[in-house]
Amino acid sequence: MPDRPRHYTRPLIGSTLVLRVIASALTLTSFGGMTIYASENLHAANAPLQPAAVATATPTPTTAPTTVTVGRTTRRSVTSTSTAPITRTKQS
Amino acid sequence: MTLSTDLIWIIARSTGTASLVALTLSVLTGIALRTGTLAWLSHNRGVRVVHGFLTVLWIPLGFAHVIALLFDRYAQIGLLDLVVPFGVSYGRLAIGLGTISMQLILVVLISTWLRSSLTNSQWQTFHRLSYVAFFAAFAHGVMSGTDLANPVVAALAWITAAAVALVALRRVARVRIPV
């Protein structure tokens, strides 16, 4: 009994240039998309990693703008600091 | 937090994600060379070309990810942490897996550059470390990734892992698609 002729299916993409463009597009799309998403969502309250970043400022009895960062969230406000040092913690 | 600090943090996240995507494509095309999994997409020569080309994408992205984290004062990652894994004061396993992944990838890359001076079996042994490297990189991303709460990012991560797992299983089973 003669062998069946093998069915040869032409691949969808023959050009290596097109393949490289697709690979680049997938990578750069994820890079661009993630850049946009990260810049719009800079602060993650429930980030899995939380370095113990503690910065201590010397208390000065002045009315000055302070920056308190919580979970990579920057809140700027004007407060009077005259007692305890400001403790800053951030989340990744 | 200054603009540059924010920018470094954004770059660290975006390059980390994009390098994982490119690394996934690289692993997929690498496995496909043996299994013919992507025969429907392109001939083996095309898959081989893309497999090589992808290093041009994921190496700079991975490098930028590491450099950005080195400059991120909040991340507290030093040069020593690139050499000695699990030494960071927080998230030791998550960050250590990233270090392990980077080191294994370096071994794979160096062995590829030295391929002409290695026997085929030696080179294959080194190259198979890329499976472990990918697993470590993926675990690093899942355990330390800030953005996995986002369903799109989570879907992207798990789809890449599922794709690699499927073709790797196919590779292990040595099932070859007739071309």
Question: How would DSSP label each residue in B51-91?
Answer: HHHHHHHHHHHHHHHHHHHHH-TTTT--HHHHHSTT-SSSS
Q: Which residue has the higher pLDDT, B66 or A85?
A: B66
Nearest to residue B100, comparing CAs of B136, B62, B47, B46? B136
Contact by Cβ (8 Å): A91, B147: no
Predicted confidence at residue B111, as pLDDT, reads 94
**Structurally, how many domains does chain A consist of?**
2
Q: Measured between CB atoms, which of A14, A34, A69 is closest to B17?
A: A34
> Does any domain span residue B147?
yes
> Does any domain span residue A3?
no
Tell me the average pLDDT of chain A: 66
> Does any domain span residue A6?
no
**What are the tens digits of pLDDT across the range B108-152?**
999 999 999 999 999 999 999 999 999 999 999 889 877 888 888
Structural domain for A78, as ranges? 45-92
Residue B158 has pLDDT above 70, yes or no: yes
Tell me the average pLDDT of chain B: 88
Residue A81 and residue A68 in one domain: yes
**Structurally, how many domains does chain B consist of?**
1
Taking the C-alpha atoms of residue A80 and residue A50, their distance in angstroms, rounded to an integer, is: 28
Taking the C-alpha atoms of residue B16 and residue A25, their distance in angstroms, rounded to an integer, is: 16
Span A54-82, mean pLDDT?
Answer: 45
Contact by Cβ (8 Å): B36, B101: no
Q: Minimal Cα distance from B52: which residue of A?
A: A20
Residue A56 and residue A85 in one domain: yes
Residues 37-76 of B with CB under 8 A from A: 39-43, 45-47, 49-50, 53-54, 57-58, 61, 74-76
Residue A92 and residue A49 in one domain: yes
Look at residue A8 and give its three-state secondary structure.
coil
**Distance, in angstroms, between A90 CA and closest chain B CA?**
8
**Predicted structure pTM score:** 0.77
C-alpha to C-alpha distances, B164 to B23, B40, B151, nearest whole angstrom: 10, 17, 20
> Does any domain span residue A86?
yes
Residue A36 and residue A49 in one domain: no
Residues 158-177 of B with CB under 8 A from A: none
pLDDT > 90: what percent of chain B? Answer: 53
> Does any domain span residue A72?
yes
> Does any domain span residue B114?
yes
Structural domain for B26, as ranges? 3-172
> Does any domain span residue A19?
yes
Predicted confidence at residue B108, as pLDDT, reads 93
The pLDDT confidence band at residue B76, using thresholds 50, 70 and 90, is confident
> Does any domain span residue A82?
yes
Q: Which residue has the higher pLDDT, A63 or B132?
A: B132
Give the gyration radius of chain B's Cα atoms. Answer: 17
> Does any domain span residue A7?
no
C-alpha to C-alpha distances, B16 to A58, B22, B73, B131, B137, nearest whole angstrom: 37, 10, 17, 18, 10
Q: Which residue has the higher pLDDT, B18 or B178?
A: B18
Look at residue A48 and give its three-state secondary structure.
coil
> Does any domain span residue B45?
yes
Residue A51 and residue A91 in one domain: yes
> Does any domain span residue B177?
no
> Does any domain span residue B7?
yes
Look-up of token digits 């919580």: A70
Contact A27 B145 (CB under 8 A): no
Polymer length of chain B: 179
Lowest mean pLDDT among A74-88, B64-78, B154-168: A74-88
Nearest to residue A36, comparing CAs of B139, B141, B152? B152
Give the gyration radius of chain A's Cα atoms. Answer: 28
Taking the C-alpha atoms of residue A74 and residue A43, their distance in angstroms, rounded to an integer, is: 9
Predicted confidence at residue B153, as pLDDT, reads 85
Predicted confidence at residue B175, as pLDDT, reads 53
Predicted confidence at residue A68, as pLDDT, reads 47
